[in-house]
Chain A
Amino acid sequence: MPRRKGAPEVNAGSMADIAFLLLIFFLVTTTIETDAGLDRMLPPIEPPEEDVIIKQKNIFTVNINKNGQLLVEDNLMKLEDLREAAIGFLENNADGTCTFCKGKKNPASSDNPSKAIISLKNDRETKYSTYITVQNELVGAYNDLRNREAQRLYGRDFTKMEAEYLNPETPSSVRDDLKDKVKRVQDMFPQKLSEAETSTN
């Protein structure tokens, strides 16, 4: 009987086992990427050469105590209400120079968005998660206002424009175009978030 069967078939039954082994190896040695977060600039350590005098009404003070309670402008406040209050303060527009603001023009609150400063103070024993939540809400207040203006001017969200601008895969022609727009919206509501040194008591 002539042998005309060709090459014998390779048994692929163990392929699944090999693949499972690799899979388990990757599951164990890798982590899912968590590289996103709140960007902050720390203030330089040298004090500015001259003291700038800031009116009290242009400062929005947020105090966090060690139990995670908030004291905003000398009133107790819930975390959920912080963003709303910050937005109200930022676009208050007491001197009427801001044409796009929809604030209440309360004379006891901030003059205009470029003068408004949010000052955050926290205790050394504040929990980090509370601290991040407060930071997040304050950044959220700026982002909400910027999104609103970006929607009005360019018909899209500021946060999306900024993310596309910062993404290195965006072609440079698009990025140049976005640069001016991002800059313009940022200048409408400049982010002035100051952090005092933490207190110990």
Chain B
Amino acid sequence: MKNSRETRKEIPAISTASLPDIVFMILFFFMTVTTIKTNPLLVDNNLPKADQVKNLEKKDRVIEIFVGKPSQELAKTFGNEPKIQLDNRLANVNEVGPYVLAELAKKPDAIRNLVTVSLKVDKDVNVGIVSDIKQELRKINTLKVNYTTYQGNSLEN
């Protein structure tokens, strides 16, 4: 009895010395593959999927317009109809043109006609509001648009 107790060794503690290294590795991974949110989303933004996509290469040549239903907290004041988000406010269709022009004016001359408008539209929105936005963009002669999507099989939408 006594003998057996003497031979039983205690289980050695697991070394956690490499834990910081592992966590740092994950940290660096996230730092490289993600981008900092420029503005908080005020609308639902569940993009549709597509597979014939092209990448938007340079962030400084992109103007983003979000469209979707107002998010839950804002639904009380703004209702459930899809809204357009410009920067960090909700706007109407007729404000799209002035906003895009103001954003264009902030960009250096050389890249002004290379600017693409990225339309980030929730997949449950009706096309009507999107064509209104496109009409506004045509009025101010900003013709390059990108329907931003997730990568995936579009038939699953």
Contact = CB atoms under 8 A, between A and B. Distances in A.
A27 B30 contact: yes
A116 B149 CA distance: 27
Interface stretch (A49-57, A133-141, A181-189): A133-141
Contacts of A162: 54
B28 to A, nearest CB: 10
A141 to B, nearest CB: 9
A166 B61 CA distance: 14
Contacts of A180: none
Interface residues of B, number: 61
Contact of A16 (B23, B52, B148, B157): B23
Contacts of B123: 127-129, 132
A23 B146 CA distance: 32
Contacts of B63: none
B14 to A, nearest CB: 13
A19 interface: yes
Contact of B146 (A40, A123, A131): A40
B103 to A, nearest CB: 16
Nearest to A22: B27
B148 A34 contact: yes
B35 A38 contact: no
A15 B36 CA distance: 24
Interface of B: 16-17, 19-20, 23-24, 26-27, 30-31, 33-37, 47-59, 62, 116, 118-128, 130-131, 134-135, 137-139, 141, 143-151, 154-155, 157
